[in-house]
């Protein structure tokens, strides 16, 4: 059963009975941290972190880890931390909820696993 009201849905565009979460477009996967307090989505080009209300399950956007859009023609992000997250599509969270593991790949590169430590 969906949560009542806007708590049961997040959408990048306004939708009836949804909370609008700008730039959520592209989310392909979601995982909930073992501690139940956070959830994470992966979608080209970002990883989004959400606070999760353990009693209701409702989500609210807490932070965005910016990656690089996967573009064969763009070399703007070939170096630096953003280069590790191109087209993120898989997520896992460590058992202690301190690290997030992100798989990503791009048109011209092999797969990458980036490890992000939570603060």
DSSP string, 33-92: -TTSSEEEEEETTEEEEEEE-TTT--EEEEEEE--B---TT--TTSSSGGGG-BSEEEEE
Question: Which residues of the chain carry a pLDDT beneath 70?
Answer: 22-23, 25, 69-84, 106-110, 119
Q: pTM to 2 decimals? A: 0.77
Instruction: Give tens-digit pLDDT for 28-55.
Output: 888 999 999 999 988 877 888 889 888 8
């Amino acid at each position: 059963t969906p949560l009542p009201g806007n708590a049961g849905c997040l959408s990048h565009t306004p939708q009836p009975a949804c909370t609008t979460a700008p730039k959520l477009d592209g989310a392909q996967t979601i995982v909930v941290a073992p501690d139940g307090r956070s959830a994470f989505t992966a979608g080209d080009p970002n990883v989004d972190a959400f606070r999760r209300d353990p009693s209701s399950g409702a989500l609210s956007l807490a932070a965005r880890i910016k990656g690089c859009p996967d573009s064969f023609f763009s070399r703007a992000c070939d170096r630096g931390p953003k280069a590790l997250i191109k087209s993120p599509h898989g997520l896992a969270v460590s058992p202690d909820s301190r690290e997030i593991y992100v798989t990503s790949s791009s048109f011209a590169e092999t797969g990458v696993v980036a490890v992000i430590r939570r603060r």
